[in-house]
Amino acid sequence: MTKLIPSLIAALACSIALATTARAADRPNLVILLADDMGFGELQCLNPRRGKIPTPQLDAIAAGGMVFTDAHSGSSVCTPTRYGLLTGRYAWRTRLQSGVLTGGPSLIAPNRLTLAKLLSTQGYHTAVIGKWHLGMLFDGKHISKAVPVGAKVTHGPLDRGGFDEFHGFHHARQIETWIDNDVVTETIEPIEMLPRLTKTAVKYIESRKDQSEPFFLYVPWSSPHSPVVPSKEWQGKSGLNAHADFVMQTDDSFGKVVDALRDNDMLDNTLILCSSDNGTSGPTSKIGQLQELGHFPSGDLRGSKADIWDGGHRVPFLVSWPGVVRPGSQSNGLVCLSDVIRTVADILDVELSDNAAEDSISFLPLLKGEVEHQRESVVHHSVSGYFAIRQGKWKLSLCPDSGGWTGTRPSKKSWAKYEKAGLPMVQLIDMDGDLGEQTNLAREHQGKVDELHDLLEQHVKRGRSTPGLPQTNDAEIVIDKRPGK
């Protein structure tokens, strides 16, 4: 087992209770590949009718495993989704109530259980190769843009995330800054980042071939987020625009990681999860141009990145696990990226304590085809901090519009416009019959509005949305953001 630093030992002691350590045969390698700003409709296998970008590698992964059609990121923007993926806790329970981090102290508290910390206790070697975006200090300071080579990294993947290795960068505004473990080692051109991450991920897999311990590799790609910089060999390949070219290059990077697993005889004992942190960015993808050319990055969903509408947070979610997940299978069960940590604990037969993974529900029964649904409700969050809650077919959004970048931007003026028109201040949608969220049923079903609002309040007040002892949020949570409330 990897030697643990004292602070990590303390963190684990207060956040996890271990059951019997899983036998080696029950410990698959875990590879999580997370695209950045790649909407549900970017994949051909998810959007064959309205998608025009070839994604053969992701389509092959889907064909070899399970496709989830109702999977969601924890937020419609980057930082909060990554927090939820690694901790199993909604990020709006932290100090981050809207937007994303550009630096500063880590959003992950020192004593917070993470996926890497959990797997370390089970004898896994852990590595993250890609974009961190969860807070980071350089030489003890917050630096928002250029960082000098040689700067020491704290509040990063090693000391807060619990990973053994880190290679990559912090966020898009610092995409030129390459970090190895806890030191800035060089600067690179943005166009070099995706190829560099791909090669580094492949190299890591090759390095694990003759190792006895299983590994967890987390690859949060830099793409197709801005800067939109497809390599020369990919430029113009889509016949659509640069964003579409970048999606194709990203798809190829997914495939190269899978190929490395296959070439090193690891594929049969590896659980691969492919997803995205949120929907496609409308501005940087030039979404209007794409739609004119017949490509709809959100498929039949309304909205895109930053929005409370499903186009902001319903994401591709593919799982391959030979011998467990049936090839070509599909699940319509409701899942969230925050569910990964509880699922991994379930696989390894590890019992988590009450103050860990408060918003995580195992989807292992779905992977095994034992049940159709496991999660009863999920909370959505937009870039501006607006809430929605989904339970079954019903979705209640606590704002009258997108809550993000599409349509009318949230403001006192926009709220007044809806109020003056006598329109409801919330949106109640029947997602089974209205996937595009066009018909607001709030007036016709006030009882359901009240019921879902009460459920959201309960999830907030209890500090958790799962069974267990109530926990404490890190900050005051304001659910109703109407002006004057």
* Model pLDDT, residue 484: 62
- Taking CA atoms, 153 is separated from 7, 9, 222, in Å, by 16, 20, 19
In a domain, 169, yes or no: yes
Place of tokens 């007044």: 416
Three-class SS string for 20-44?
CCCCHHHCCEEEEEEECCCCHHHCC
Q: Would you say residue 216 has pLDDT above 70?
A: yes
Looking at the structure, tell me whether residues 323 and 419 fall in a common domain.
no
Looking at the structure, tell me whether residues 158 and 225 fall in a common domain.
yes
Looking at the structure, tell me whether residues 26 and 120 fall in a common domain.
yes
d(CA 16, CA 315): 29
Better-scored residue on pLDDT, 14 or 294? 294
Confidence bin at 245 (pLDDT 50/70/90): very high
* 3-state helix vs strand vs coil in the chain, percent to 5: 30, 15, 55
Looking at the structure, tell me whether residues 369 and 383 fall in a common domain.
no
In a domain, 224, yes or no: yes
Confidence bin at 256 (pLDDT 50/70/90): very high
CATH number at residue 109: 3.40.720.10
Confidence bin at 411 (pLDDT 50/70/90): confident
Q: Which of 31-45, 73-87, 212-226, 416-430 has the lowest mean pLDDT?
A: 416-430
* Model pLDDT, residue 24: 42
In a domain, 6, yes or no: no
Looking at the structure, tell me whether residues 332 and 397 fall in a common domain.
no
Looking at the structure, tell me whether residues 266 and 363 fall in a common domain.
yes
Burial 52-86 (b: 16+ CB within 10 A, else e): bbbbebbbbbbebbbbbebbbbbbbbbbbbbbbbb
Highest mean pLDDT among 25-29, 208-212, 370-374, 428-432: 428-432
In a domain, 471, yes or no: no
Confidence bin at 213 (pLDDT 50/70/90): very high
* Model pLDDT, residue 6: 35
* Model pLDDT, residue 485: 62
- Where is the domain boundary, 322, 352, 373? 373
Q: Inter-axis angle of helices 78-87 and 340-347, to 10 degrees?
A: 20
Q: Inter-axis angle of helices 242-263 and 190-207, to 10 degrees?
A: 10
Boundaries of domain holding 392: 379-461
Please, which residues have CB within 8 angstroms of residue 244's CB and are 6 or more apart in sequence? Answer: 52, 53, 238, 290, 295
Q: For the segment 418-431, what is each residue's pLDDT rounded down to a tens digit?
A: 888 887 899 999 99
What is the residue-averaged pLDDT of the chain? 93
- Number of residues assigned to the chain: 485
| Percent of the chain's residues with pLDDT above 90 | 87
Looking at the structure, tell me whether residues 429 and 389 fall in a common domain.
yes
Place of tokens 């709006």: 92
d(CA 241, CA 53): 10
Pairing of strands 137-138, 165-169: unpaired
Looking at the structure, tell me whether residues 357 and 399 fall in a common domain.
no
State the average pLDDT over residues 449-476.
Answer: 97
The answer to whether the beta carbons of residues 89 and 357 sit under 8 Å apart is: yes
Q: For the segment 8-26, what is each residue's pLDDT rounded down to a tens digit?
A: 433 443 344 333 334 444 7
State the average pLDDT over residues 363-378.
Answer: 94
Looking at the structure, tell me whether residues 273 and 322 fall in a common domain.
yes
Better-scored residue on pLDDT, 353 or 12? 353
* Model pLDDT, residue 413: 77
Domain count within the chain:
2
Place of tokens 């640069």: 242
Q: Hey, what amino acid is at 429?
A: I
Looking at the structure, tell me whether residues 418 and 305 fall in a common domain.
no
Q: Hey, what amino acid is at 181?
A: N
Pairing of strands 125-131, 165-169: parallel
- Where is the domain boundary, 354, 373, 392? 373
For every residue of 134-161, DSSP letters joined together read S-BEETTB---S---TTPBEESSTTTTT
Looking at the structure, tell me whether residues 407 and 306 fall in a common domain.
no
Q: How far apart are the first and last CA of the chain?
A: 52
Beta pairing partners, 31: 217, 272
d(CA 172, CA 233): 22
CATH number at residue 394: 3.30.1120.10
* Model pLDDT, residue 8: 41
Looking at the structure, tell me whether residues 115 and 163 fall in a common domain.
yes
Q: For the segment 106-137, what is each residue's pLDDT rounded down to a tens digit?
A: 999 999 999 999 999 999 999 999 999 999 99
- Taking CA atoms, 144 is separated from 79, 81, 224, 432, in Å, by 15, 20, 21, 43
